[in-house]
Amino acid sequence: MSTLLQLSTPFTGIFNPKTRPGEACVGTPTSEIPNLQSQVTILTDSISDEAVRLAVGKVLTDLVFLLDCLSLIAGPRDPAGIKEVVSILNTVRSEAYSLGAFIENHAMRLVGVDDVLNETLDSSAYAINHEVRRIFTGELADMNLDQEDQETRGAFLHAQGVLTNCFQQCLINLARVFDASLTDARLFQDWQGRRESSLLLYHDLSELIELVQASEKDSLKYSEQTLDHLEERLTAFREGSMQCLMYKDWQQYEAFSEQIIASIRNGKRPADLLHHMGCYLETLLAHVKARSVLADLALEPLCIYEKIDIS
């Protein structure tokens, strides 16, 4: 049975969120320290136009609710783990589409909405509808959920990551219309952790690219020590920093690294394989560099980690 079919079937008695849109989201992982809903309430209370205040307050509060729902996916699972996650995703999909419709059909049509706010609301509605549709009718549509395995779990976590990033960006962009001093770090308690893991990944990818490129250039004079070191680093990345990549990239990295390691163990010179691996790693590095948590950093192409303060 496909995810799309299962997601069309509501589950009862499994997922019971503590809050609903319009209520304060207190005590859940995304909103507790600092309390995101409290910050949203303070922000919206400062809006003088009542109609705009109510509309913006609903949009921001709904985004907090969606983030809280998604944060539960990474939590511990009981024996009904798949059904629980699907139930959460059912809620996220339904509430996200409702939020997009509210923005387009109500919030953007208010008299007190100026051009900047209108554009921000418009881009938020587009992003929400686009990303939710991409996840539920695209990437998850053909998933088989008969059993909870690594592939299914990875797909859930990928969906969580994509949607969390979307909702966080919509929230911060809308909040900054009314308070330009707000930052991701002030609003989202997981921001620092995501920033640090992305920096570690950037560092490790940069060093791995240097090693792969150097090994490719010296392909005619490989020493046993060089090949052993290359195999060791490829394996170490797979067992470590690869976990910080998007799940969809794991399989490709594993395929490249396994081919190179097999070639080394068979006594061959993997020059062509190293070239393809180097190109692939550079693409991954560009994607990591583009992450929103690193947007304010002037990252150098290679081995710049020691120059960056992540404290």
pLDDT tens sequence across 60-106:
999 999 999 998 886 555 545 778 888 888 899 999 999 999 999 99
Domains of the chain by residue range: 3-189, 192-307
Out of 134-143, 196-205, 227-236, 295-304, pick the least confident: 295-304
Residue 2 has phi, psi (to 5 degrees) of -80, 160
Arithmetic mean of pLDDT, 24-34:
41
Residue 45, pLDDT > 80, answer: yes
- pLDDT band at 21, cuts 50/70/90? very low
| Per-residue pLDDT tens over the stretch 124-142 | 999 999 999 988 887 777 7
Question: Residue 92: what pLDDT?
Answer: 95
Share of the chain above pLDDT 90, in %: 32
> Does residue 52 register a pLDDT over 90?
yes
State residue 112's pLDDT score.
Answer: 82
Minimum mean pLDDT among 110-114, 214-218, 222-226: which range? 222-226
Instruction: Please provide the distance, in angstroms rounded to a whole number, between the alpha carbons at the two ends of the chain.
Output: 46
Report pLDDT digits (tens) over 267-299. 877 878 888 999 999 999 988 888 777 777 766
φ/ψ of residue 41, rounded to 5: -65, -45
Q: Cα Rg for the chain, rounded, in angstroms?
A: 23
Long-range contacts, 299-303 (Cβ 8 Å, 24+): 299/202, 301/206, 302/206, 302/207, 302/209, 302/210, 303/203, 303/206, 303/207, 303/210
CATH class label, 3-189: mainly alpha
Mean pLDDT of 36-40: 86
The answer to whether the bond into 34 is cis (omega within 30° of 0) is yes
